Structure 1
Amino acid sequence: MRPTLTLRIFLSWLARQSRRRGVTPRMIALDEIPPIPAAPPAAPILKQIRRVTGRPSFPVALSSLRIRRWRDIRVPGADGFRTARLYRPRGKVRGVVLFLHGGGFVHCDLVSHHGICCRLAAASGAMVVSLDYRLAPEHRFPAGLEDAKAALDWILRTVGADVPVAVAGDSAGGNMSAALTQWMREKGLRPLSAQLLYYPALSGPFVPPSRQAYAEGYMLSAELLYWYCGQTLRSPEQLFDPAFSPLLAERFQDLPPAMIVTAGFDPLRGEGELYARCLDEAGVPVRLKNFPRMIHGFLNGYALFRDGRQALREGGMFLREVFAREKGGDCQQAPPS
C-alpha cells in the first residue's frame, strides 16, 4: 500500500523544493540521544517557520460556517493569562473539550487549527476551547504543559459538575492531552470524560519500528523529531519524564476512555498503537483508528484529504457518544472571558 495519489504528488513536490534549496536529509542513528538542549534557530528563521505553519487549513470565514460562533477569550496560564479560542456549536452543547494544537511544541497556533476545531465542535456538539500555550524554544518544557494544566483547571472550575469535560490534541497536542489525563489521575482531581489523541508523540527515547520504517520521505522525519526534542527540552533527562513521554508512566489504569488516531506512513504510528495497547490491557476503553494511506499531520490537509475530514468526524462522534453516556448538563452558557 502506498500513500494516496494526492499525497505522493505533495511529497514529491516537497522533495524537489528541498533539493532546490540544497537541503540534504541527514541520517539519524535512532539509538542515540539527540543534543539537548539544542541551539535555537535565528529569530528571523523561527518567525518564518511560524508564519508558514500558522496559515489556516481552510479560510477562517468558511470554516466558521459549521458552528454557531467563535470568539477569543483570556484564560489563566501558568505564567499569566493566555489567549484561547472558544468554539460554540449549533444546538445543545453536550460538553467541553480542551484542544491543544500540534506543531512539535515549537510552531502552529490558534489560526492554523481553526478549521480543525470548527469541525470538531460541529461533530461532537461540544464547546471547544483551543489554547494558545507557550511555545519552545523561548519557553521550554514543561511551560506549555503547565499552561494546559492551568487552562484545564479553569474549565473544570467554570463549568457545572454535571458537564462532561474532555481533552483532545494532535501530535504534540496529543502528547500533552495524554500527559494531562495522567496528571489529573495522580492528583486525584475530577476525572475527565475522554481523551482524543490524533497521531500523538508519546514514547520519548523509546523507538518503535515505525520510527525506523518511516524515518525519511514522509514529511515528519527522524531528523525533524530530534530537532523538536532539542528545541523543547532543557536536559536529556527530561526525555524519560512521563510528563513528556506518557508511554513511560508506571501504570495506565484509571484513565479516561480514549480514541487514538494514527496514520499509516507516520513515524509516530507505533507509539499510538502501543499506547492503545497499554490502555486496553489496563482496562481502559480505547478505540484505535488507523488511516493507512495518510502521513503525519493529515488533519491540517482536511480540505484536500477525505481521510482528514473523516478522522475529525469520527473523533467528534466518539466524544458525542461519551458525553451522551454521561448525560451531561446543557452547557449553553459559555465560560466567561
Structure 2
Amino acid sequence: MSWIFDTMQAWIRQKERLVKDPALKERLQCDVQPLDDGLSSILWVGNRHKARKIVLYLHGGGFQMPSIAGHFECVWNSYVLSGVESETEVAVAFLQYSLAPIWRAPVQLRQAAAALSEILDAGFGAKDIVVGGDSAGGNLTVQLLHHLIEPHAEVARIVLQEPLSAAFLISPWLGMDTSAASFRENDLYDMISMDILRSLAIVIPPGGDGTSIDEKGPDSWAEPLECKGPWLNKLGSAVGKIYITVGDREILADQGKLMAKTVTAMQTGVEVTLESNPKAAHDFLVVEGLFGHIGEETIKMKQWFKSALKKAN
C-alpha cells in the first residue's frame, strides 16, 4: 500500500506550498495509524490530537482502486476547513482498506469497523463522529451502519451508547441492479458505465452472507438496496442524519435517490437530506477535489457539514 502513502505525502507537499497560514500548516502532517490487522491504516488529515469532531472517510474506487489526491483535497476542503470556519477542530480518519480482488468482502467492513472502534477507544463519543464516503465508500458506509444495528457474524461487534452524529453518501454504489432509468439514460456519458459496474460483481461475492455469485440473494451485505430487512427500520439507533448527494447525469443517480426515499418512507427517525445536481456526473465532489476547485458540490457539502457540526455542539 506504499503508493497510497506516497499519494498522501505528495498531496501534503503540494498543500504546504500553497498554504500560507501557519495554523493551517500544523494540520498538514503525515500521520499514519496502523490498525491491528497489519493490513489497513488510518491516514489522518488534520490534527487528531486537538480534534473535537472526527470524520471517518471511506474512499471509493469499486473496492479495487486506491485513493487519489482528489480524495485528500476533498476531505480537507469539505471537513477540515469547514471545522476551521466553524471554530470546531475537525480531523478526518481516512481509512486505507485492503483492495479487491485479493481482499474481498467482508474484509473492508471488518477494517471500517476496526477504524471506528479505534476512534471510540480514543475517547470520542458517537455524537462526535461522522462517517461517510464516495461511490463504493458510500456502499461501505451503509454496510457499517448495518453492522452497528445487526452485527455481521465475521466482524467485531460495536456497541454504541448513542447514534453517530451523521453519515454522508457521495454518488453511492448500492447494488448490482441496473434496471433503473438513470443507468439507461446516462450509460454513454458517465465516467462509469453499466459494463464497468457489472465487472465489479467479483468484489462482492463471497459477500457478507458467504454466498456465491449464482446463490447471492437479498441478504448480500454489499448490496444495501437489496438487503433492506428489519435492520433498516432501526437506522435511527445508529445515526442521526444522512446526507446523500448524486448527479443526475450519473448511472447511479437513481440508487442514491431510492435510498433517500426508502429511509424517509420507513420513518426511521433519521433526518435525510438529498442533493441532486442536474449537471453533475459521478463523484463530482471528488472531481472538484482532483482539480483543486471548491465548486458547487463542495460548497453544498460544507454547508451541510457545518449545519451538522452546529447541531452536534
TM-score, normalised via structure 1 length: 0.72
Pair 1:61-2:13 in alignment: yes
| Counterpart in the other structure of 2:209 | none
* Cα deviations by residue, 1:32-63 (Å, 9 ceiling, x for unpaired): xxxxxxxxxxxxxxx9xx98xx968x954344
Residue of structure 2 equivalent to 1:320: 306
What does the per-residue CA deviation read over 1:249-286, in whole Å, with 9 as the maximum and x for residues that have no partner? 11423322100000111110000000001111123210
Q: Given the superposition, is the C-alpha separation of residues 197 and 142 from structure 1 closer, same or farther in structure 2, using an over 3 Å criterion?
A: same
Q: Relative to 1, partners in 2 of residues 1:315 and 1:229: Cα closer, same or farther, differing over 3 Å?
A: same
Amino acid across the alignment from 1:177: T
Counterpart of 1:160?
124
Structure 2 counterpart SS, 1:210: helix
**Paired amino acid for 1:129:** A
Q: Which runs of 5+ in 1 are unaligned?
A: 1-46, 328-337
Q: Is the 8 A contact 1:145 1:176 kept in 2?
A: yes
Q: Deviations over 1:72-122 (max 9, x none)?
A: 322425x335222112269x7441111011001100226452111211221
Q: Is the 8 A contact 1:86 1:128 kept in 2?
A: yes
Quick one: which amino acid aligns to residue 223 of structure 1? D
Give 1:117-196 correspondences, 5 Å limit. 117-120=75-78, 121-124=80-83, 125=88, 126-161=90-125, 164-187=128-151, 189-190=159-160, 191-196=163-168
Which residue of the partner structure matches residue 225 of structure 2? 247
C-alpha separation in 2, matches of 1:304 and 1:114: 9
Instruction: Specify whether residues 82 and 175 from structure 1 end up closer, same or farther in structure 2 by C-alpha distance, changes over 3 A only.
Output: same
Greater radius of gyration (CA): 1
Change (3 A) 1:303 1:322: closer
Structure 1 residues 62 and 314, CA gap change in structure 2 (3 angstroms): farther
Root-mean-square deviation (CA, aligned residues, Å) is 3.2
Q: Distance in 2 between matches of 1:242 and 1:308?
A: 37
Q: Quick one: structure 1 residues 260 and 89, their matched pair in 2 at CA, closer, same or farther if it must change by over 3 Å?
A: farther
Assess, with a 3 A threshold, how the Cα gap between structure 1 residues 213 and 279 changes in structure 2: closer, same or farther.
same
Instruction: Report the equivalent of 2:63.
Output: 105
In 2, the alpha carbon distance for the partners of 1:266 and 1:213 equals 9
Which AA in structure 1 matches 2:13?
A
User: Using the alignment, how far apart are the partners of 1:192 and 1:96 within structure 2?
Assistant: 11
Indicate yes or no: 2:182 matched with 1:230: no
After the TM superposition, which of the residue ranges 100-109 and 307-316 deviates more from structure 2? 307-316
Deviation, 1:315, is 2.1
Could you say if the C-alpha distance between residues 63 and 169 of structure 1 is closer, same or farther in structure 2, counting changes exceeding 3 Å?
farther
Matched-pair contact (CA < 8 Å) for 1:105–1:232: no
C-alpha distance after superposition, 1:273-302 (max 9, x if no partner):
000011111232100001211111222321
Deviations 1:221-265 (A, max 9, x none): 000001122244333244644420112211423322100000111
Q: Is the 8 A contact 1:76 1:82 kept in 2?
A: yes
Aligned residues of 2:58 and 2:138 also touching (Cα < 8 A): yes
The alpha carbon displacement at 1:307 in A equals 8.5
Separation in structure 1 between the aligned mates of residue 12 and residue 217 of structure 2, nearest angstrom: 36
Alignment of 1:293-304 (within 5 A): 293-302=279-288
- 2:30 matched to which residue of 1? 71
State the partner residue of 1:82. Answer: 40
Cα distance in 1 between the residues matched to 2:279 and 2:294 = 11
How far apart are the structure 2 equivalents of 1:83 and 1:175?
19
Asked if structure 1 preserves the Cα contact closer than 8 Å seen for 2:174 and 2:255, the reply is yes
Q: Say if 2:130 and 2:167, in contact at 8 Å, map to a contact too.
A: yes
Q: Secondary structure at the match of 1:70?
A: coil
Cα distance in 2, alignment partners of residues 277 and 148 from structure 1: 26
Q: Counterpart amino acid of 1:150?
A: A
Q: Separation in 2 of the partners of 1:324 and 1:289?
A: 20
**Secondary structure in structure 2 of the residue aligned to 1:85:** strand
Summarize the Cα distance change of 1:308–1:105 in structure 2 as closer, same or farther, 3 Å threshold. Answer: farther
In structure 2, the gaps of 5 or more residues are: 152-157, 207-211
Query: Which is bigger in relative contact order (C-alpha 8 A, separation at least 6)?
Result: 1
Judge conservation of contact 1:110–1:132 (CA < 8 Å) in 2.
no
Q: Which residue of 2 aligns with 1:116?
A: 74
Give the AA of the match of 1:273: K
The answer for the alignment partner of 2:273 in structure 1 is 287
Where 1:265 maps in the other structure, the secondary structure is: coil
Name the SS of the counterpart of 1:104 in structure 2: coil
Name the CA distance, whole Å, in 2 between partners of 1:186 and 1:238.
19
